[in-house]
Amino acid sequence: MSASAESAGQSPSHTRQQERSASAEVIAASAGESASAGVVAASAGESASAGVVAASAGESASAGVVAASAGESASAGVVAASAGESASAVTTGPIIGSRKVYLDTPSGLRVPRRRVLLTDGAHLDVYDTSGPYTHDEPDIDLHRGLPALRAGWSAERDADAASTNAVQTQLGLARAGVITKEMEFIAVREGVSADLVRDEVARGRAVIPANRCHPESEPMIIGKQFLVKINANIGNSAVSSSIADEVDKMVWATRWGADTVMDLSTGRRIHETREWILRNSPVPIGTVPIYQALEKVGGDPTKLSWEAYRDTVIEQAEQGVDYMTVHAGVLLRYVPLTARRVTGIVSRGGSIMAAWCLAHHQESFLYTHFDELCEIFQRYDITFSLGDGLRPGSIADANDEAQFAELRTLGELTHRARAFDVQVMIEGPGHVPMHKIAENVRLEEELCGEAPFYTLGPLATDIAPAYDHITSAIGAAMIAQAGTAMLCYVTPKEHLGLPNRDDVKTGVITYKIAAHSADLAKGHPHAQERDDALSKARFEFRWVDQFNLSLDPDTARSFHDETLPAEPAKTAHFCSMCGPKFCSMKITQDVRRYAEEHGMTSPDAIEAGMRAKSDEFAQRGGQVYLPVVGP
Ligand code: SF4
């Protein structure tokens, strides 16, 4: 088995190609080695849960799920990394009831959409993050990676930059008035004008995370004028999961709507895990480089140095990481502000940097070398995600002085990065009660020049471990309505353990609900189309359309079929919740039909019906309780 690129001592400037082949070897070897982990997961835990969904949804043939070894989804469902390598299976094929279509941009770019096909002959196109994995007949080879969609674009960008003297980042070009191909793609994807995209990027209110070395990604935008985005965290730890599991989670998360994925791996083979994820990811990938830098110095924060960190950033930049969390706002003088907190410093990156600052009694090297970092980010067009290392980890610590002191420093760093034409977003909390949420957005916008806010939840209460996807989605919906541009999902395993595949899906769907609710509240021009289509299908008892228009068709269908599995129930004018006699929607339809047949309006019909019932009541003697009549 080959050593990893990093442990083989390759220079941080080695090429992406070299890294790829190195890591390809590693995964080939590690697939065998981790076969037990992967296969066990697939054939026992994972397929048990996902397989049940597939089976109950009757979906194994069309959409497929899970692992080859589960023996399901024979036609489309699974793609393994190589023949016989079932450990590296990922889910492929369209989501049930829909298929991939493409819209053309003015210059011929093809923008993916997911077309939900309805039983009344209509269709609805929805935003799609799933990449080529959801084609009818996907041509996926995990070793080869996805097609390099943006391969020629950066060369053209360079030409644009040369003609305008602009710095060749999306921000630099936007400021120079250039509409890049990424912006053109995004405009069609969001259903807005390309000028709006360019203007929002130019003023720093939106970012396009798109490293030049990640050509496989489909351009997307994060900004308050656009659809609220969600991020899914994946990544193995020292004690759990394998590379194959993490690649599968990335594909799985984007299938259900994750707009970006953060690889937070901290265990062995960080480099290889990231390489496999990047080459196969249709969405931007974010990382926290300090995690890998810490691995390189044996896990001792006090041994970290600017040089070790810088080399790690360059290594990840070369691989194609699109945005990086940098906890440069954790300053030495802020650390004592956390002393009286209930939960101290809960951010991993924040606690690492606080430990370094205290051990050396020096200012953070992330802060003192920030301009050098900007130069690196500019070269690759990486977006800063300025980390909230001092975010509150409990309701008691929300909106305290430590949190807002760091936010002020993040504001200063935002302006420094923008001077280099480097894009910036700001990370936010955490744990915040509902009445303190809006204040976070107001301050962030004021201090950080309206840079896109990217928040983790926040959890609106601390009392529900195992349900923190819900406690946090409440805060997430509120903070998104107030202006947050991207929400980092929380899974049911938050605070308890590493999320598995099912947790990833639950987290993604939960956060799609929060994000979409905010889109509706903010009046995004197209947001309500899907709600209207689903409501209409519901009222017309088009059950299959109702399932297929939902965020999670498989679960919607399986819940319905739990009590009414027969096929005729898919057109029945009731469900098992109220039953046929008390179905209020059927009664409303009856009223409307009665009105139509008698040339009345619905209120007239209701009045006439009420009068008839009233007469009937009087004729029966006006008794509230009638004697029971035997059969
Ligand atoms: S039975 Fe009740 S829940 Fe079911 S469709 Fe009718 S009104 Fe809705």
The rounded distance, in Å, linking the Cα atoms of 38 and 602 is: 60
Give the residue numbers of the binding site for substrate.
Answer: 233, 262, 291, 327, 347-349, 388-391, 427, 454
Three-class SS state of 384: strand
Give the residue numbers of the binding site for Zn(2+).
Answer: 431, 495
Contact 272, 263 (CB under 8 A): no
Cα dihedral sign, 551-554-557-562: negative
Q: What is the pLDDT of residue 239?
A: 66
pTM: 0.84
Q: What is the pLDDT of residue 616?
A: 77
Q: What is the pLDDT of residue 269?
A: 85
Cα dihedral sign, 141-144-150-152: negative
Three-class SS state of 460: coil
Would you call 430 exposed, middle or buried from its count of C-beta atoms within 10 A (0-12, 13-18, 19+)?
buried
| CA distances for 361 relative to 202, 261, 302, 356, angstroms | 38, 35, 11, 8
- End-to-end, the C-alpha distance of the chain in Å comes to 79
Q: Nearest 5 degrees, angle CA 481-CA 456-CA 478?
A: 20
Per-residue pLDDT band for 227 (boundaries 50, 70, 90) equals very high
Better-predicted residue by pLDDT, 35 or 604: 604
Per-residue pLDDT band for 574 (boundaries 50, 70, 90) equals confident
Ligand 1 atom closest to the Cα of residue 580 is 1
Q: What is the pLDDT of residue 240?
A: 66
| CA distances for 575 relative to 56, 428, 519, 537, 582, angstroms | 18, 42, 30, 14, 10
Task: State yes or no: pLDDT of 391 exceeds 80.
Answer: yes
Q: Which structure tokens are listed for 268?
A: 């062995």
Angle between helix 501-522 and 47-57 (nearest 10): 60
For atom 3 of ligand 1, which residue has the closest CA?
577
Better-predicted residue by pLDDT, 386 or 70: 386
Q: What is the pLDDT of residue 571?
A: 85
Ligand 1 mutation target, pool 536, 584, 591, most atoms within 8 A of CB: 584
For atom 6 of ligand 1, which residue has the closest CA?
583
User: CB neighbours (10 Å) of residue 329?
Assistant: 28
Distance 245 CA to ligand 1 centre (A): 40
Q: What is the pLDDT of residue 78?
A: 54
Distance 591 CA to ligand 1 centre (A): 16
The rounded distance, in Å, linking the Cα atoms of 585 and 541 is: 9
Distance 540 CA to ligand 1 centre (A): 11
The rounded distance, in Å, linking the Cα atoms of 514 and 480 is: 8
Distance 575 CA to ligand 1 centre (A): 5
Q: What is the pLDDT of residue 334?
A: 96
Contact 220, 486 (CB under 8 A): no
Of 347-351, 367-371, 465-469, where does mean pLDDT reach its minimum? 347-351
Closest CA to 145 of 16, 311, 338: 16
Please give the order of strands across the beta sheet that includes 110-117: 98-104, 110-117, 123-127
Q: What is the pLDDT of residue 412?
A: 98
Closest CA to 356 of 374, 343, 368: 368
Ligand 1 cavity residues, CB under 6 Å: 574-575, 577-578, 583-585
Distance 590 CA to ligand 1 centre (A): 14
Q: What is the pLDDT of residue 438?
A: 97
User: CB neighbours (10 Å) of residue 113?
Assistant: 18
Contact 418, 442 (CB under 8 A): no
Task: State yes or no: pLDDT of 289 exceeds 80.
Answer: yes
Task: State yes or no: pLDDT of 46 exceeds 80.
Answer: no
Q: What is the pLDDT of residue 576?
A: 83
DSSP string, 219-263: P--EETTSPPEEEEEE--BTTB--HHHHHHHHHHHHHTT-SEEEE
Using one digit for the tens of pLDDT, what is the confidence trace for 373-389? 999 999 999 999 999 99
Q: Which one-letter DSSP state was computed for residue 430?
A: S
Better-predicted residue by pLDDT, 21 or 349: 349
Instruction: Report the percent of the chain where pLDDT is more than 70.
Output: 84
Distance 578 CA to ligand 1 centre (A): 6
Ligand 1 atom closest to the Cα of residue 582 is 1
What is the 3-class SS of 139-156, one letter each residue? CCCCCCCCCCCCCCHHHH
Using one digit for the tens of pLDDT, what is the confidence trace for 292-303? 999 999 999 999
Give the start-end residues of each E strand in 285-373.
285-287, 323-326
Give the residue numbers of the binding site for [4Fe-4S] cluster.
Answer: 575, 578, 583
Q: Which one-letter DSSP state was computed for residue 459?
A: B
Per-residue pLDDT band for 11 (boundaries 50, 70, 90) equals very low
The rounded distance, in Å, linking the Cα atoms of 110 and 103 is: 6
Using one digit for the tens of pLDDT, what is the confidence trace for 393-426? 999 999 999 999 999 999 999 999 999 999 999 9
Task: State yes or no: pLDDT of 33 exceeds 50.
Answer: no
Using one digit for the tens of pLDDT, what is the confidence trace for 73-124? 323 355 554 433 333 589 999 999 999 999 999 899 999 999 999 999 999 9
Question: What is the overall mean pLDDT for the chain?
Answer: 85
Per-residue pLDDT band for 599 (boundaries 50, 70, 90) equals confident
For atom 5 of ligand 1, which residue has the closest CA?
574
Q: What is the pLDDT of residue 618?
A: 83
Q: What is the pLDDT of residue 28?
A: 35
Q: What is the pLDDT of residue 606?
A: 77
